Structure 1
């Protein structure tokens, strides 16, 4: 796999890749491959490796922003912290929620037990977490949704799908019925980061083949599947 073939946006300070599902951003404890193993191939003439600005879960595919220098990394990090970034995700739910669209406003906190390990839960004293959603299609008793999160909490969409809509994301091993060989059906579809002087960073990731395999076609306006 060559991540240099997955470039969605590239200029002097920003790089957006279409991260494959199954590739972790941070190096796993078991020593298996991660994004770090591919950074040298993403220098494109720069001496420094690009650095990821945010995180996507191992199974989540799609738009991942990397900064090509430390100053840009600082600016992009602040943009995420100040909610100045537009994010869109696609997800396949293991069921069909009522209604066509809505807003999920459920604060989230972290919990940990010896039996289940750590996970995120709805917690009235947790951090504010808001997600907008709309239903795009149905197939085989499942629904394709588009999420637009206002906040960026850990596992936010995965918990909001289950607790806010009543159905987990297909393949989710923590909040759903996913097993060791399953992939969570979550895809970072679009990313827009505004900049002061330069034009905004705008990236759209192709509709995933794994979504097509479950009976869904790319929604209107989405980037086509990778050919």
Structure 2
């Protein structure tokens, strides 16, 4: 069937009825008007276009009043000021936002820093700047970051009375900022595949009077026993983490190794990398691609040529570092079949468990002074020392800095560098104070 081209008038309706012109048929009214214009003779003057709205009396124009927007949840329309509290001393500015203003995304913080809207004590600040207690943070009006897909919240299982009692029995030191436990061998520090029992899962039992969950700041291998430091507050967690990363924390281990090292006091400097094909579960010495690793050892006593009791101090923090280094120099730790193979076991009454124990941990305390704690040996380690004829009282050797001696040239250089660093830090604080008091340029 042939159809008419679109837009052409279709002629009068059937039945001779006139097209409706009311509001009830706007399409037909417009079509009729268009047809009337098409039939207009040439030379006719155009009629005035009817106004779509009825004429109204002229009145004074209304003054536009801006609508006051209602802030959404997490949004502020005003500049805000926040003072840095003691628990936030030393943390990065961007992490302060994550902790206190989580609705503000990192992109917003970076943009404010670039444009000078984000200020600390009146001075421009960068997301990576470290905060100091008492500083004032200026936060401009913000928009919440884009909502993320809801993730299922992991609910930790409720600890039984026996689990709580067990966790609290491990505590060998406790103060307002730190807890030190004596981790038994066989208990992992953190969970993983097929690992349900671990220290991290017991931390709810170590809240005590603070009513906040403690935090791990370092770890020990599952089969390594001994002193494990746990932070009780966010401030102490940041402080201790920095101490471990900067290597100012001191850790002293005891180990019984196969054979006797030819040098009584030595430094092992061998780079370590993940061993290919093990899924990262095993490390090895890799001179080409390994990361630098340094371990010091000191022989405490020897059992003929059969075994030696040694003190170990890691100067870096690579995975399995002490175990890899001792095996690399031909003296694997007794019981460490992973790195020593069949040669890492003694016959007789010596236990087949690993003989590596974190004997001592010493670290500066956030409130001043130091945490300096020693952990007693597990039963199998103490029994092996006795079986091999070692004197347990001879084990605690003094650290180098604990030996009274005249300061060397290197000691004087270190002290001078530390003093210069403190002076520079003080000057930065003075510049910030001057910047906060100076009038703002317009």
Q: What residue number does 2:200 align with? A: 36
- After superposition, the C-alpha distances for 1:56-96 in whole angstroms (9 at most, x for unaligned) are 00011111010011121111111100001011000111222
Question: Would the aligned equivalents of 1:19 and 1:63 in 2 still touch at CA under 8 Å?
Answer: yes
Deviation (angstroms), 1:182: 4.1
Say which of 394, 397, 408 aligns to 1:220: 394
Give the Cα–Cα distance (whole angstroms) in 2 for the partners of residues 29 and 55 of structure 1: 17
Q: What residue number does 1:225 align with? A: none
Where do 1:173-184 residues align within 5 Å?
A: 173-177=337-341, 182-184=352-354
Give the Cα–Cα distance (whole angstroms) in 2 for the partners of residues 88 and 32 of structure 1: 28
Question: Would the aligned equivalents of 1:170 and 1:177 in 2 still touch at CA under 8 Å?
Answer: no
Give the Cα–Cα distance (whole angstroms) in 2 for the partners of residues 170 and 143 of structure 1: 10
Say which of 277, 282, 291 aligns to 1:119: 282
Deviation (angstroms), 1:31: 4.1
Q: What residue number does 2:355 align with? A: 185
- After superposition, the C-alpha distances for 1:88-128 in whole angstroms (9 at most, x for unaligned) are 000111222222111111111112316x8631111223221
- Bigger CA radius of gyration: 2
Say which of 367, 379, 394 aligns to 1:209: 379
Using the size of structure 2 for normalisation, the TM-score is: 0.47
Q: What residue number does 2:310 align with? A: 145
5+ residue gaps, structure 1: 223-227
Question: Would the aligned equivalents of 1:211 and 1:217 in 2 still touch at CA under 8 Å?
Answer: no
Deviation (angstroms), 1:212: 2.2
5+ residue gaps, structure 2: 1-164, 345-350, 397-442
Q: Secondary structure at the match of 1:191?
A: strand
Where do 1:18-37 residues align within 5 Å?
A: 18-37=182-201
Which structure features the higher share of strand residues?
A: 1
Q: Which has the higher contact order (CA 8 A, sep 6+)?
A: 1
Where do 1:1-227 residues align within 5 Å?
A: 2-113=166-277, 118-124=281-287, 125-139=289-303, 141-163=306-328, 165-177=329-341, 182-195=352-365, 197-214=367-384, 215=387, 216-220=390-394, 222=396
Q: Which runs of 4+ in 1 moved over 3 A?
A: none
Question: Would the aligned equivalents of 2:189 and 2:198 in 1 still touch at CA under 8 Å?
Answer: yes
- After superposition, the C-alpha distances for 1:120-143 in whole angstroms (9 at most, x for unaligned) are 111223221111111112237111
